[in-house]
Structure 1
Amino acid sequence: MSQIEIILGPTNTGKTFYAFEQMFTYKSGVFGFPLRLLARENFDKACKLYPINQIALITGEEKIIPKDAKYFFCTVESMPEDFFEFVCVDEI
């Protein structure tokens, strides 16, 4: 069964952090950001916390996709259309 959760709140209240942590409780996930910088920052953070071979980055300028990638950090327009257990679009 699919579940949709919307997280609303003022700036700097931890919405992105919460979604970031939640994504890694699933077997796969994709996180779409409005800016390349945000995608890159969160990709770098994930690479320090989780196995680097499972983390991918896709933006208009960069594509780092390990063979075993399960978690993708992307700009919204670069999000893959594959099936993921977790999908987040930041800053709607």
Structure 2
Amino acid sequence: MVTGLLPILAFYIFSQNGLFGFGTDPEKRYFLPLILLIYLAAMWSFYDMRFLIGSDSMVAVFPPFRYRIPFSMISSVEIMEKWP
């Protein structure tokens, strides 16, 4: 997450100093913060995912979404020891 955030943040800081020409028009001024916000929302959603087990289904929670998966739809399960 940090490695993807650093180039965006550096590009934003340089653009605020007028080095890339994004600071001239009011419409272009909000372009980079919008990209940064979308990136942070995607990373927050990915790293905050949870799986809840119920009596008849599994619920995958990816904020702001929830997916209910019945046990009959699950064909195989694999346990990972380390997260890559």
Instruction: Tell me whether the two structures share a fold, i.e. TM-score over 0.5.
Output: no
TM-score between both structures, scaled by the size of structure 2: 0.26
Larger radius of gyration: 2
Higher RCO (CA 8 Å, separation ≥ 6 residues): 1
How high is the TM-score relative to the length of structure 1? Answer: 0.24
